Amino acid sequence: MHNKPNNSPIKIIKNGASVQVTWDGDVLNCDSDTIIKQIAAQMSNTVKQLGFAAPAHGQWDSSLLSVLFGAVQEAQRHNIAVDLTALPQNLQDLVHLALAVDRKPQHKENMQFGFLGTIGAGTVKIWTAVNNVLGFIGEVFISLLRFFSFRSVMRGIDFLAALDDCGPKALGIVALISFLVGLILAFVGAVQLQTFGAQIYVASLVTIGMCRIMGAIMVGIIMAGRTGSAYAATIGTMQVNEELDALETMGLPKVDFLVLPRLLALVLAMPILTMLADFMGMIGGAFVGVFLLDLPYQEYWKYAINAFNLKNFMVGIFHGFCFGFIISMCGCYCGLTCGRNADSVGVATTRSVVNAVVWMIVITGIITVICQEIGV
């Protein structure tokens, strides 16, 4: 029986107890998967031998080698003897090389769970994650206690470097984004307020919006992307470079050494950056009010100052403080739990930003409800 796969020079000939695979001329870019399946289909119980015959000078590529490799493996699976002797020597050598396994693959853990198994595995995963996070928070608080009792091994220079990075170096981007947010807020508000002839209240809208929450949120998002991710990447890279192992074997508390300076710096810098964001947002609002809505400059600031409320301002600053804590904790935790390859550093960086943003929104919700309850 002859069988020739479509558009392929390879012929499969079954002759009693023997299957012969032959071809003439060149074999390039053949559909190896289909051909292997067609060869395998000929391997019934009566077949005792698989043979190959080929021209000595035809051209071929890896697709032919793949056919030979697949066919031989199929034959071995069916306990069929294989005769490669009619193949060119280089092809024989390559097939033998591919078959010469020096090590069997290790048994891979079967990760296929049933319904209950999936729930169980998920629960264990969540429980482990919660445990790890709570452990980390506990370590940070113990480290803070050590710091306030002057027993911490935190290096002052690390704190100053972190403060420089998340303070002065972040001023530009925070100022620019906050100015633009104030501008957008004023634009959006002005469209609605103009219909009532109340465009002067743009000043109040921008002042209350920026001071109460928007300033802190914008700074939080900027710093999560800029500084939190940098924390995760730096500490993650230290993991890859075995620097964290070195710290551990030297008995230096990782939290004191790596987390504390970053945490203190960001917690200190965030309220200040929030103040700057509030101010820049108000300037952005004033820009729209004065230059686009033609409001008198003095009038705009009079309304803005009237709308300014110390309670709102302090709520914003408190948000900034909490966000600083969240961003540094997320960044450092993701860095410390990073894997030991380059890909893991990318994953840790992404996770730090996503976690920080999610937790900032959750905390904002909680603070808003509490403020509502206590009438702030």
Nearer to other proteins, 109 or 343 (CB): 109
- Helix pair angle (260-287, 202-209), 10° resolution: 180
Provide the greatest CA pair distance for the chain.
Answer: 104
Q: Which stretch binds other proteins (CB under 8 A): 67-75, 247-255, 263-271, 359-367?
A: 247-255
Question: C-beta of 349: minimal distance to other proteins in Å?
Answer: 18
Residue 83 is a binding residue for other proteins (CB under 8 A) = no
Question: C-beta of 339: minimal distance to other proteins in Å?
Answer: 13
Cα first-last separation, the chain: 90
Question: C-beta of 249: minimal distance to other proteins in Å?
Answer: 5
Residue 57 is a binding residue for other proteins (CB under 8 A) = no
- Helix pair angle (310-336, 229-240), 10° resolution: 20
Query: Sign of dihedral through CA atoms 129, 130, 135, 137?
Result: positive
Spell out where the chain has E strands.
Answer: 2-3, 10-15, 18-23, 49-53, 81-83
Residue 249 is a binding residue for other proteins (CB under 8 A) = yes
* CA-wise closest residue to 285 among 208, 370, 197: 208
Partners of 82 in the beta sheet?
50
Q: Which residues contact 68 (CB under 8 A, 6 or more apart)?
A: 52, 84, 87, 91, 95
Question: C-beta of 101: minimal distance to other proteins in Å?
Answer: 11
SS3 356: helix
Q: Which residue has the tokens 């976690």?
A: 355
Nearer to other proteins, 69 or 147 (CB): 147
> By CB under 8 A, what part of segment 114-153 binds other proteins?
153
Residue 103 is a binding residue for other proteins (CB under 8 A) = yes
Q: Rounded distance, CA 352 to CA 329, Å? A: 9
Residue 374 is a binding residue for other proteins (CB under 8 A) = no
Confirm if 318 and 367 have CB atoms less than 8 A apart. Answer: yes
Nearer to other proteins, 261 or 289 (CB): 261
Q: Rounded distance, CA 25 to CA 11, Å? A: 12
Confirm if 210 and 185 have CB atoms less than 8 A apart. Answer: yes
Residue 248 is a binding residue for other proteins (CB under 8 A) = yes
Nearer to other proteins, 114 or 251 (CB): 251
Nearer to other proteins, 113 or 291 (CB): 113
Interface residue with other proteins among 56, 100, 250, 310 (CB under 8 A) is 250
Q: How many residues interact with other proteins (rule CB under 8 A)?
A: 17
> By CB under 8 A, what part of segment 253-272 binds other proteins?
none
Q: Which stretch binds other proteins (CB under 8 A): 62-70, 223-231, 239-247, 323-331?
A: 239-247
Question: C-beta of 199: minimal distance to other proteins in Å?
Answer: 52
Using CB under 8 A, list all residues that contact other proteins: 103, 106, 109, 153, 158, 161, 238, 241-243, 245-246, 248-252
